[in-house]
Amino acid sequence: MFRYRIRFVVLLGLVLTSLACSLGGGAVTPTVEPASTDAAQLVSTREAPTVPPVAPSQVPTKAPPTAVPPTETPTGTGPNGCILSEQFLADVTIPDGTVLAPGAAFVKTWRVKNNGTCEWVNYKLIFAAGEQMGGPASVAVNATPTSGTVDISVNLVAPTTPGEHKGGWRFQATNGSVFGTLWVIINVPAPATATTPSTAAPASANWNGEWGSNCGSFNCGTVNLVQNGTAINGTFAGGGIIFGTVINNRLTGTWSRSGSSGTIDWWLGGSGKKWRGNYNAVNGWCGYRAGETEPAPCGVASFAGDWNTVAETFNAPLSIYQDGSQLIGTLVLPSGNVPLNGSIDGTKATGVWNQPGGTSSTFTWYLLNATQLNGNYDGNKKWCGYRTGSSAPATCLAP
């Protein structure tokens, strides 16, 4: 019995010793089992993800052309963007500073060029500034193409207050845009009073009193003038009014009658009993005292003043002094000043001048209007002229 116990104890010790070795000894290498058939099939049947192809970078062989902007057409404030512009050419009537009687009716006329890109159709000239002088709010402008010229007139009345009076007028397009400015500038002096014989001006400048006159079909009849120093006012047939200024023996000024008006230019003769001259520069008008006959020639046009001349072999400025039917002048050439002398009968002036080199030659001129003349020298070479603000006549050589 005891022997069996001893065997049990020994056997138990061996078992415990074996267990201790199994738990406390070196690391145990785990056994790797082979992958199952199902897992292998899963891995082998999964498709690789599709990667989209990348396009190769393209390098241009040259730079793209630079866009050229379209040419811009200039635009203005006129209809459809056209450009509104005007150029003043001349005072056809009533130059700036003209002396007019208080309350005198007159017609102001300007000459203007359309130097814009708009055709002037149904345009107006409207009052814009200063004194309206009895004028309308607007007047119609005749149709004027680009580069064309037009004369525009306004009926006005001189104020009764002495002094300078100024009014401004502007163009108005059909779209309402306004442009340009034209001015009328006149002077109204204090009314003249009659002078007594004891204080009368010398006979060579005495315009006082009654004159018989001849102005052709215009029918001027008797002229009555009142002079106060150098100021003149007066009347003529049909309710006409005269106003002017005396310089030496010359009377320049304006006339007005029945809504029409214009200029006068008269020269008193040496006897003081006759005068000759014109109205509107080219129409004859002369006068004479009671018991006298009219002078011959009666009418003489106004050649006096400065001219730009165009001739066969030269272009040169010309200055003319006129005393009634006589004129003297100076032609300014690069080689020096050249004198000329002549006489006037109506609108025709004839005389002599010295060509460069001293050769004497003849000239003949015809006054076409207040600002243009044409004619010739030596009978067949052109010689014409125009005042500043105007242009050379279309036909230079005459006759």
DSSP annotation string for 257-318: ETTEEEEEEEEE-TTSSEEEEEETTTEEEEEE-TT----SS-BB----EEEEEEESS-EEEE
Determine, yes or no, domain membership for 341.
Answer: yes
What is the C-alpha to C-alpha distance for residues 317 and 328, in angstroms, rounded to an integer?
Answer: 14
231 and 270 together in one domain: yes
In a domain, 29, yes or no: no
Q: What is the pLDDT of residues 348-399, one digit of tens each?
A: 999 999 876 667 899 999 999 999 999 999 999 999 999 998 999 999 999 9
Contact 266, 213 (CB under 8 A): no
Q: Do 219 and 315 lie in a common domain?
A: no
CATH number, domain with residue 109: 2.60.40.10
Does residue 4 belong to any structural domain of this protein? Answer: no
Tell me which of 288, 315, 347 is where a domain ends: 288
pLDDT digits (tens, 9 = 90+) for 269-311: 988 999 999 999 999 999 999 999 999 999 999 999 999 999 9
Name the strand (E) or helix (H) holding 256: strand 250-257
Residues 85, 140, single domain; the answer is: yes
Structure letter (DSSP) for residue 24: H
Residue 97 falls inside a structural domain: yes
- Which of 163, 188, 213 terminates a domain? The answer is 188
d(CA 117, CA 57): 55
Measured CA distances, 211 to 44, 276, 331 (Å):
139, 12, 37
Average the pLDDT over 24-41 and give the result: 42
Q: What is the DSSP letter of 397?
A: B
Looking at the fold, whether 338 and 268 belong to one and the same domain comes out as no
**Same domain membership, residue 85 and residue 170:** yes
Rg over alpha carbons for the chain, rounded to the nearest Å, is: 53
Examine the domain organization and report whether 184 and 208 are in the same domain: no
The DSSP annotation for 209-225 comes to EEEEEE-GGG----EEE
> Residue 195 falls within a domain, yes or no?
no
Total of domains in the chain: 3
Q: Which range, of 67-71, 180-184, 210-214, averages the lowest pLDDT? A: 67-71
Alpha-carbon distances, residue 65 vs 61, 72, 74, 159, 397 (angstroms):
12, 21, 27, 70, 60
Q: What does pLDDT average to over the chain?
A: 82
CATH code of the domain in which 230 resides: 2.40.128
In a domain, 233, yes or no: yes
What are the φ and ψ backbone dihedral angles of 190, each rounded to 5 degrees?
A: -65, 145
- 110 and 211 co-located in one domain: no
Domain that holds residue 174: 79-188
Same domain, 179 and 267: no
Give yes or no: residues 102 and 173 share one domain: yes
Last residue of a domain, one of 263, 288, 313: 288
Is the confidence at residue 247, as pLDDT, over 70?
Answer: yes
Are 95 and 175 part of one and the same domain? Answer: yes
Among 171, 231, 180, 238, CA closest to 201: 231
Percent of the chain whose predicted confidence (pLDDT) is above 90: 62
Task: Examine residue 343 and state whether it is found in any structural domain, yes or no.
Answer: yes
What is the structure's pLDDT at 352? 95
Q: Are residues 172 and 86 in the same domain?
A: yes
Are the C-beta atoms of residues 246 and 230 closer than 8 Å to each other? yes
Phi, psi (5° rounding) for residue 19?
-65, -40
74 domain residue, yes or no: no
Q: Are residues 99 and 155 in the same domain?
A: yes
DSSP 97-148: TEE--TT-EEEEEEEEEE-SSS-BSS-EEEEEEE--TT--SEEEPPPB-TT-
